[in-house]
Amino acid sequence: MIIYGIKNCDTIRKARKWLTAHEIEYEFHDFRTEGINPVQLRAWVAEAGWQKLLNKRSTTWRNLPNETKTEINETLAIFLMEENPTLIKRPVLEMSTGILVGFSENIYTEKLLS
């Protein structure tokens, strides 16, 4: 199990704390230092959808030109997320059964403890 995100993200901290508290082993992959594999990103988009993966609450999104934001589509979103991994909603938890995007104690409990 691998959790993807940014080390100093509050949501990542919550998710990692939850995993540790429930004694679930995982690896941590930091987008800032390790980047993102484009093939892997496309697989996530195929599974979850680019709209779910694109973090429109991020500072990076807010700093994009308005024209880019209004013209956003799957191809552009993938390109932007590859170039700026901070645009990927965090965390992405990759498991053998698929991925979870974002953190919710209820969803983690349902998917990981049942």
Domain segments of the chain as ranges:
2-7+17-113
pLDDT for residue 82:
96
What residues act catalytically? Answer: 9
User: What residue ranges of the chain have pLDDT lower than 70?
Assistant: none
CB atoms within 10 A of CB 88: 25
Under DSSP, the state recorded for 95 is E
What's the confidence (pLDDT) of residue 114? 81
- Asked if residue 85 has a cis previous peptide bond (ω within 30° of 0), the answer is no
Q: What backbone torsions phi and psi does residue 27 show, to the nearest 5 degrees?
A: -110, 150
Which pLDDT score is estimated for 74? 97
Query: What is the pLDDT, as a whole number, of residue 44?
Result: 98
2-7+17-113: which CATH architecture?
3-Layer(aba) Sandwich (3.40)
Using CB atoms within 10 A of its CB, is residue 95 exposed (0-12), middle (13-18) or buried (19+)? middle
Give residue 45's pLDDT. 98
DSSP H or E segment with residue 101: strand 98-101
Whole-model pTM over 0.85 = yes
User: Which phi-psi region, left, alpha or beta, contains residue 23 (left: φ > 0; alpha: ψ -120 to 50)?
Assistant: left
R_g over Cα of the chain: 14
Instruction: In whole angstroms, give the CA distance from residue 65 to residue 43.
Output: 27
Tell the residue number behind the tokens 């100093």, with chain if given.
8
